[in-house]
């Protein structure tokens, strides 16, 4: 279980997240959606403490960490949370000087101190899972955006995290390449991988998410099942947001 309680994030006088409380069941996919600047990516980054909340409590697995203005959070406590998460970034962030398989192995060898052969076996298993076994020795510069993102997903999965966090995983891709990544994430969802994704791509959210959190201006406007949010939202603001998307796309949920 992942539980965020009364999370607040400030940058100076600007309040980016306001009293956010959500629960994310293990084995489920939760999509964070809403207009740009609503706080989706910031909330996602607060889960693995790439952004340190100003106030509130994070419960992840067996770890609970509380935050308050002026309270210092120890590095070891941060690492206990981070080691339970895998992060997939919008712009892939592969190491350009390493091949696909070396990118996937890197964290296992450098951080977890796995023997190289064991790390290579794990990396090969994951590259096969994401359909990239034929590109193990390819350099990132020779891969398409969709292929790079699939390698990035394999890298994030390598240490077997409790939750996979995806920050706009398809936004840098054209529709055809985006479909490759959606297929991989959909397969992971069917296998029971716990995921939280911040996304503008409502086709992605409607296809694989169990639950949806609609955020605007740092507030949770509405939460519910993907079917309910996309088909019968309760809040007027959610209805307006969904209707603008449905005017251009039809969702099969």
Instruction: Write down the pLDDT at residue 141.
Output: 96
**Looking at the structure, do residues 37 and 145 belong to the same domain, yes or no?**
no
Token pair, residue 66, equals 């509380």
According to the model, what pLDDT value does residue 172 have?
81
pLDDT in tens, 69-90: 989 999 999 999 999 999 999 8
Beta bridge partners of 111: none
Do 47 and 172 fall within a single domain? yes
Residue 250, pLDDT > 60, answer: no
pLDDT digit string, tens, across residues 122-158 = 999 999 999 999 999 999 999 999 999 999 999 999 9
pLDDT at 248 over 70: no
- Report the DSSP beta bridge partners of residue 141: none
Is residue 249 over pLDDT 70?
no
> Are 197 and 226 contained in the same domain?
yes
Question: Could you read off the pLDDT of 30-61 as tens digits, one per residue?
Answer: 999 998 889 999 999 999 999 999 999 999 98
> Is 214 among the domain residues?
yes
pLDDT above 80: residue 22: yes
Domain count, the chain: 2
Same domain, 138 and 170: no
pLDDT over 50 (residue 251): no
- Same domain for 118 and 196? no
| Mean of pLDDT values over 11-25 | 93
State residue 127's pLDDT score. Answer: 96
Threshold 0.75, pTM exceeds: yes
Domain stop point among 160, 190, 211: 160
**Residues 203 and 130 both lie in one domain:** no
In a domain, 5, yes or no: yes
Is 50 among the domain residues?
Answer: yes
In a domain, 153, yes or no: yes
Q: Where in the sequence is the domain holding 154, given as residue range(s)? A: 94-160
Q: What is the pairing mode between strands 85-88 and 2-11?
A: unpaired
Q: Is the pLDDT of residue 252 over 60?
A: no
In the Cβ-directed half-sphere of 63, how many Cα atoms lie within 13 Å?
17
Domain shared by 37 and 78, yes or no: yes
Taking the C-alpha atoms of residue 204 and residue 185, their distance in angstroms, rounded to an integer, is 9
Alpha-carbon distance 39 to 54, whole Å? 14
Same domain as 193, residue 138:
no
| Average pLDDT for 155-163 | 95
Label residue 32 exposed, middle or buried (CB < 10 Å: 0-12, 13-18, 19+).
buried
- How does pLDDT run across 108-131, given as a tens digit for each residue? 999 999 999 999 999 999 999 999
Residue 247 has pLDDT above 70, yes or no: no
Length of the chain, in residues: 253
Is residue 222 domain-shared with residue 184, that is, in the same domain?
yes
Average pLDDT, the chain: 91
HEC readout, the chain: CEEEEEEEEEECCEEEEEEEEEEECCCCEEEEECCCCCCHHHHHHHHCCCCCCCEEEEEECCEEEEECCCCCCCHHHHHHHHCCEEEECCCCCCCCCCCHHHHHHHHHHHCCCCCHHHHHHHHHHHHHHCCCHHHCCCCHHHCCHHHHHHHHHHHHHCCCCCEEEEECCCCCCCHHHHHHHHHHHHHHHHCCCCEEEECCCHHHHHHHCCEEEEEECCEEEEEEEHHHHHHCCCCHHHHHHHHHHHCCCCCCC
Is residue 89 in some structural domain? no
The reported pLDDT for the residue numbered 80 is: 93
Q: Which of 141, 160, 179 is the last residue of a domain?
A: 160
Q: How confident is the model at residue 179 (pLDDT cuts 50, 70, 90)?
A: confident
The Cα 33–Cα 38 span in angstroms is 8
* Radius of gyration for the chain, computed over Cα atoms and rounded to the nearest angstrom: 18
Q: Are 250 and 217 found together in one domain?
A: yes
Report pLDDT for 245: 64
Both 175 and 235 in a single domain? Answer: yes
pLDDT tens digits for 185-240?
A: 999 999 999 999 999 888 888 889 999 999 999 999 999 999 999 999 999 999 99
Same domain, 78 and 169: yes
């Amino acid at each position: 279980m992942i539980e965020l309680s009364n999370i607040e994030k400030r940058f100076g006088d600007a309040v980016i997240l306001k009293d956010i409380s959500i629960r994310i069941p293990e084995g489920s996919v939760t999509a964070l959606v809403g207009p740009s600047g609503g706080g989706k990516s910031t909330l996602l980054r607060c889960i693995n403490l790439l952004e340190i909340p100003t106030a509130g409590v994070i419960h992840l697995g067996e770890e609970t960490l509380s935050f308050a203005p002026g309270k210092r959070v120890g590095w070891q406590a941060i690492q206990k949370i981070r080691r339970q998460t895998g992060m997939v970034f919008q712009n892939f962030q592969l190491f350009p000087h390493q091949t696909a398989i070396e990118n996937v192995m890197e964290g296992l060898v450098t951080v977890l101190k796995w023997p190289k052969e064991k790390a290579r076996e794990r990396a090969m298993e994951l590259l096969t899972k994401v359909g990239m076994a034929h590109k193990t020795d390819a350099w990132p510069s020779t891969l398409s955006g969709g292929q790079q993102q699939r390698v990035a997903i394999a890298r994030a999965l390598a240490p077997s995290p409790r939750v996979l966090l995806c920050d706009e995983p398809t936004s840098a891709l054209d529709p055809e390449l985006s479909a490759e990544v959606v297929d991989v994430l959909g397969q992971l969802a069917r296998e029971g991988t716990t995921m939280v994704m911040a996304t503008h791509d409502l086709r992605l959210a409607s296809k694989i998410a169990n639950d949806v959190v609609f955020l605007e201006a740092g507030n949770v406007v509405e939460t519910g099942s993907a079917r309910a949010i996309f088909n019968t939202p309760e809040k007027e603001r959610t209805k307006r947001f969904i209707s603008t998307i449905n005017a251009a796309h039809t969702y099969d949920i």
